[in-house]
Amino acid sequence: MSNSHDNGGRHLDRRRFLTTAAIGGATIVGASALGGLDAEAAFAEPMPSLDAAIPAAFAEGRVVAINRNVLDVAGSHGERHLVQLTNATSIWKLRTTTAEAIEAGDGLYARGAAMPDGTIAADAVWVNIVNVYVTIRGIAKDRLHLNHGGNEVVGHIVPDTTTASYLGGALTADLSRTRIGQEAQVLGAWRPADGHIDMARVSLGH
């Protein structure tokens, strides 16, 4: 990916282009200069920006208000963030989705570029994402009963979404090999309404 974008003959560096996207709704196509866009990327160590002109900025916390395409986020340590969404922003909420899926009360982790006004022009937002190590305590047709740090958690099996990986193998929709007492890693989306988890992936024997 080059360090510039030619828009109507005007030469724009990436910071300027992200700012333009935030203001005018331009489309950015391709991989982000700031890192991966999949769910695993939310838990990766922050990597240096591929372009020194765009220092990466991060925000985490709870969405307290949504004003058009700007998320007002209360951080876990009392800080406040304004996260600007564009049509270039990758949004994950159990699966890749759109800004309309974000609601007040959701938790999020966002990554993007710091703008001069203090907002973050987000290239990626992960909504309610959780990545937990658990022990399976019960198995039902549409859910797993889990123990995480001594707390009971319900993990919902979501049709056409939840997959399993056994011993590091390929992902499969077949969860029939799960067993009570197994330890597992669950990647999914927390449900603020009831504290349950909609499971995207269950990794066993990793």
* Token code pair at residue 68: 């058009």
Structure confidence at residue 196 (pLDDT): 95
Predicted model pTM: 0.77
Q: Residues in the chain, how many? A: 206
Encode pLDDT of 35-48 as tens digits: 776 777 777 766 55
150 vs 55, which has greater pLDDT? Answer: 150
> What percent of the chain is modeled with pLDDT above 90?
63
| pLDDT value, residue 36 | 72
The whole-angstrom separation of Cα 157 and Cα 75 is 30
Q: Which residue has the higher pLDDT, 100 or 53?
A: 100
pLDDT, residue 48, reads 54
Please work out, in degrees rounded to the nearest 5, the angle formed at the alpha carbon of residue 175 by the alpha carbons of 171 and 181: 115
> Six-digit token pair at 43?
């838990």
The more confidently predicted of residues 160 and 45 is: 160
d(CA 189, CA 176): 22
Q: How far apart are CA 173 and CA 201, in angstroms?
A: 9
